[in-house]
Amino acid sequence: MSVKQIPEFHLAARNGAMLTLKGSGGQAAYIFVLEQDIIRVMVLPDASLRFPRTWAIAPGDQQLPLAGRDRFSLAGFAQPAYTAEEHGGALQIETGKIRLTVQLKGLSCSWETCKDGVWQNAAQDRRTQHINFGYWDDKVYHYLKRDAGDEMYFGLGERSGETNRHGRSYSLKTIDAMGYNASSTDALYKHIPFYLTWNKRQKTTFGLFYDTLSEGKLDMGCELDNYHGHYRYFVADHGDLDYYFIAGDDMEQVVRRYTWMTGQPAFTPKWGLGYSGSTMTYTDAPNAQEKMNEFLENCEQHDMLCESFHLSSGYTSIGDKRYVFNWNREKFPDPKEFAQHYLKHGVRLCANIKPCLLQDHPCFAEARDLGLFINDQNGEPELVQFWDEIGAYLDFTNPDTIDWWKQAVTSSLLEYGITSTWNDNNEFQVLNPQASVNGFGKPFKAVEAKGLQTLLMMAASQEAQTAFAPQQRPYLVSRSGAAGMQRYVQTWSGDNYTSWQTLKYNIKMGIGLALSGISNTGHDVGGFSGPAPGPELLLRWVQFGIFMPRFSIHSWNDDKTVNEAWMYPEITGAIRNLLKLRARLTPYFYDLLWRYHQHYEPMIKPTFLAFPDDPQCFAENDDMLVGPSLLLAAVVEPGQHSRAVYLPAGADWYDFWSGAHHHGGQEIVLPAVGDRPPLLARAGSAIAVNVAEQHFNRPAQQQSFMVFPHQAGGSFTTEFFDDDGVSHAHKNGQSSLWKIHVQSQASVLEIAVGCSGVQLASDIVVLLLPQHETRRLATDAIVISDAIVDGYREVQIRITKPTF
């Protein structure tokens, strides 16, 4: 068929939520009305699916089979009532939130969204050659019109550069990018083809998700072609055009809806929010077990709070190479005793595992004979470069491989007392276009879906951990990943380079991930590769890092030094205090984790997500909201002793340290020294904290709340979740829900505190208010004391009414 022959479509069938359109050249298209705010479009040039299953779509808590979900399945979606009418050569589909108009000649789509009863244009396919109907090549294309002046784009997962993706082009691939330039390197470790569009003039938003695991590209206005006007586009090397349009009244609503659609985030144990030590250097040392034990001794000596340690791959070495699931008994004479020693100190071990067996791995022949590898065109293991040797990737689309992996995780790690897995080097860099995978009995080319291997590796590791300790919530971490990875793991921004530039742009990377459904994330604090950080840079990294959901100091410095909390005596005290601040804030972080798991709320946010009506928040900045209540202004330049920070309009703010009150909509300057990073709390908020004195290996608990009341009249109510932190007991109601209500008046603060659910360990609660807060406190509780302590007004109360 000639390129000039634009297909004519007609509505062939309407079956509930699915509308089937047939094209004059044998094409097929499907439109799925999934929710009031989600409509899906799938275009098949030859009327058949090239990739019939998805591993991304798992609405809510839907359990996704390892073999994937049929792309025609609508399970988990509400499938609401809608209208569909044909007129003037177009098909118009309307829900309460979305109006989609499809031109039947050429299948061009235009989208409108409804906000406050008003319909506004949101998106439109490019007028010319917007879809490849199989005329150009075998790739998948989708071109959209771009409003060059008014549109901003956010998301796309973990990306270098600015938060606004407008004007950049990004590879859809995963790669081991150790030492990357955080402002420009592309590609990196994640494959997340989801982004938000924000129209500055209209103040409207929507999200687009392309359900593909193929490599490709997303161009956000970098490319310009005179024949087509301004546009942005998606291209995938393989698979199908299958995309989801998500409407919302604001961007956070869209982010939550996308997260819901791609699966409920893992509710990882509370200890996964604590400081996690790590370094390549310890396990590379010939006396690795001794070095590892010295870490515990140093934590105790310096009183550095630590809850886990990420065990780098040196424990698997034979010679100077690494062999997954092998224990080097010269470095670690007694792995079980080693793991138990750590557990006795309250520190869990998270062991590094890799999905590639080197060709001289002790188990290579066994795995080859069992058919567990990705194979080349001759049916032999596809050999690839992996670190300093040649090896073959395991094929996780083979059920036998999954069983083998689970057994290896169990016998080599879990039975020794290793509690969790660090799924690393899992970018599956297979280049041979002829290499194939099992595909759960339906083979396909490995290059068509490399990210699928990563997702299945996570799932296999999670199944092993769950089977071994069914009463415990599993903790896993993965470097690489694809859409939906939040169902399994905590993650981080990979092997970053030690520099001030990395610190600055890692902030934006974390925000990009959070805007793409992946909030339980962090960075290698201090920088992983390159030179050792100087004292100032390390301190600034820690000041920022303690506010990320994942907080780990990790390194592989060029000079073989180790990034340690005590590496510079002049800042050791400040870092100790920052780690204790992190521990004090853990109840707040844990509630954020619960909100993320239960309500899909991002744990960290750019300021514009919470304050979209303030245009100043859309200017590129280095600020970050931590949940709904805290605003962190990280210092990302050397030699600074203060930090200018813009306070979003629409709220008032308190300096976290001095208690000074500031109105929003202005820029202020805050001191930035030592263990007190520039930090603000939103007026009209409270955060759960633990004020008990903490020491290494000696946890203590005192239920407390920091309260930041309105200066003028106003009220707010906040809830906080808590449970035992490790088990599934919350599913059976074994949890606590704290509620605090604050009513501000000119001379009186009315505060009510209660807790429903699990019986309180103590009826004593500590309230911390800004030290300048002098209003009389009115409460049903019994006030035990009211005094200024360590810069806060500290009020101890005894709860007499557990609930209200």
Per-residue pLDDT tens digits for 603-644: 999 999 999 999 999 999 999 999 999 999 999 999 999 999
SS (H, E, C) 118-131: EEEEEEEECCCCCE
Q: How confident is the model at residue 800 (pLDDT cuts 50, 70, 90)?
A: confident
Q: How confident is the model at residue 2 (pLDDT cuts 50, 70, 90)?
A: very low
- Are 159 and 118 in the same domain? yes
Query: Averaged over 186-203, what is the pLDDT?
Result: 97
Q: How many domains does the chain have?
A: 4
- Are 419 and 487 in the same domain? yes
Assess contact for 266 and 202: CB atoms under 8 A: no
- Both tokens of 556, joined, read 């592989």
Distances (CA, A) of 99 to 109, 113, 124, 245, 800: 10, 6, 12, 11, 54
Residue 193 clears pLDDT 50, i.e. is over it: yes
Cα 777 to Cα 206: distance, rounded to the nearest angstrom: 45
Mean pLDDT over each residue of the chain, to the nearest integer? 97
Which residue bears the tokens 């490995």?
Answer: 446
- Are 674 and 741 in the same domain? no
Residues 6+ apart with CB under 8 A from 731: none
> Which stretches of 441-568 are DSSP H helices?
450-468, 500-514, 535-545
Residue 689 lies in a domain: no
- Are 677 and 786 in the same domain? no
Residue 622 lies in a domain: yes
What's the number of CA atoms in the CB half-sphere (13 Å) around residue 379? 3
Count of residues making up the chain? 804
- Are 375 and 479 in the same domain? yes
Q: Residue 388's pLDDT is what?
A: 84
- Are 248 and 318 in the same domain? no
- Are 714 and 670 in the same domain? no
Helix (H, G, I), strand (E, B) or coil at 494: coil
Chain centroid, CA 235 distance in Å? 24
For 230, other C-beta atoms within 10 Å of its C-beta total 15
- Are 655 and 771 in the same domain? no
End position of a domain, from candidates 437, 462, 492: 492
Distances (CA, A) of 273 to 268, 591, 625: 9, 11, 17
Determine if the peptide bond prior to 187 is cis (ω within 30°).
Answer: yes
Q: How confident is the model at residue 5 (pLDDT cuts 50, 70, 90)?
A: confident
End position of a domain, from candidates 200, 235, 262: 262
For residue 381, give the CATH number of its domain. Answer: 3.20.20.80
- Residue range(s) defining the domain that contains residue 121: 9-47+79-262
641: DSSP letter: S
Q: Which range has the worst mean pLDDT, 2-16, 632-646, 742-756? A: 2-16
Dihedral (CA of 378, 380, 386, 390) sign: negative
What's the number of CA atoms in the CB half-sphere (13 Å) around residue 671? 8
Assess contact for 184 and 508: CB atoms under 8 A: no
- Both tokens of 761, joined, read 């360990």
Assess contact for 605 and 595: CB atoms under 8 A: no
Cα 274 to Cα 479: distance, rounded to the nearest angstrom: 19
Q: Over the stretch 60-97, which tens digit does the pLDDT of each residue have?
A: 999 999 999 999 999 999 999 999 999 999 999 999 99
Assess contact for 29 and 44: CB atoms under 8 A: yes
Q: Over the stretch 151-173, which tens digit does the pLDDT of each residue have?
A: 999 999 999 999 999 999 999 99
Among 392, 56, 31, which residue's Cα sits nearest to residue 213?
56
pTM listed for this prediction = 0.98
- Both tokens of 764, joined, read 């004593």
Residue 284 lies in a domain: no
Assess contact for 201 and 151: CB atoms under 8 A: no
Cα 718 to Cα 580: distance, rounded to the nearest angstrom: 24
- Are 203 and 248 in the same domain? yes
Q: Residue 4's pLDDT is what?
A: 60
Residue 768 lies in a domain: yes
Q: Over the stretch 704-720, which tens digit does the pLDDT of each residue have?
A: 999 999 998 899 999 99
> Which stretches of 138-279 are DSSP H helices?
251-262
Q: Over the stretch 506-538, which tens digit does the pLDDT of each residue have?
A: 999 999 999 999 999 999 999 999 999 999 999
- Are 366 and 447 in the same domain? yes
Among 386, 382, 391, 333, which residue's Cα sits nearest to residue 361?
391
What's the number of CA atoms in the CB half-sphere (13 Å) around residue 453? 31
- Are 20 and 147 in the same domain? yes
Percentage above 90 pLDDT, the chain = 97
Residue 694 lies in a domain: no
Residue 558 lies in a domain: no
- Are 327 and 403 in the same domain? yes
Residue 236 clears pLDDT 50, i.e. is over it: yes
Q: Over the stretch 586-605, which tens digit does the pLDDT of each residue have?
A: 999 999 999 999 999 999 99
Assess contact for 684 and 708: CB atoms under 8 A: yes
Assess contact for 55 and 69: CB atoms under 8 A: yes
Among 416, 423, 351, 414, which residue's Cα sits nearest to residue 394?
423
Q: Residue 148's pLDDT is what?
A: 82
For residue 659, give the CATH number of its domain. Answer: 2.60.40.1180
Residue 196 lies in a domain: yes
Residues 6+ apart with CB under 8 A from 734: 723, 724, 727, 757, 758
Q: Residue 357's pLDDT is what?
A: 98
End position of a domain, from candidates 472, 492, 512: 492
Q: Residue 761's pLDDT is what?
A: 78
For residue 254, give the CATH number of its domain. Answer: 2.60.40.1760
Q: Residue 458's pLDDT is what?
A: 98
Residue 473 lies in a domain: yes
